[in-house]
Amino acid sequence: MKIQTTKLEFISIDWLFWSMTMLTMGGISVSAYLMWGYSVPGASLACGESSGCETVKNSIYANLMGIPLPIAGLAVFSIILALLALQHQRSNDSYTVLAIFGLSFTGTLYSAYLTYLEFFVIYAVCRWCITSAIIMTVLFFLSILNLRQLNQFD
């Protein structure tokens, strides 16, 4: 009588790629919701008991060169998602990794500026905007790990 044994094989999951992808999809969702709130006349963003979202939405800082900020956020998060897919397909292309880092760094700096405006100029806080800023900041820190991971293979 022969005893058959099985060998367990572990599936390698690229947690960094999937974490960044899920965060980026969250950023796209938040930006799409904010874009809906900005573009539909009479739409009111769900911001809890605070009226901060409406105050921020109606401020002079809600547009960048005439473009509503949620559209810019949606574009940046979508480009990062496309770059992540390209990086995954090309197996850590250095230009793609640098582009993700650059976009997330720029997005984090701009989000910090907008958060400053919310707290110290507009005197109103939009929870959705803060959520978007947090997502972008976490993406930035993960993009640093992404860069480090790329350098391990060089």
* pLDDT, tens digit (0-9, with 9 covering 90-100), for 33-51: 999 988 888 888 888 777 7
The 3-state DSSP class for residue 68 equals strand
Q: Is residue 54 part of a domain?
A: yes
Structural domain boundaries enclosing 148:
15-153
Q: Which residue has the higher pLDDT, 151 or 56?
A: 56
pLDDT for the residue numbered 36: 93
- Assess if residue 95 is contained within a domain: yes
Establish if 22 belongs to a structural domain. Answer: yes
Number of domains composing the chain: 1
Residue 23: give its domain's CATH number: 1.20.1440.130
* 5, part of any domain: no
Closest to 100 measured CA to CA, from 31, 29, 33, 149:
149
d(CA 33, CA 129): 11
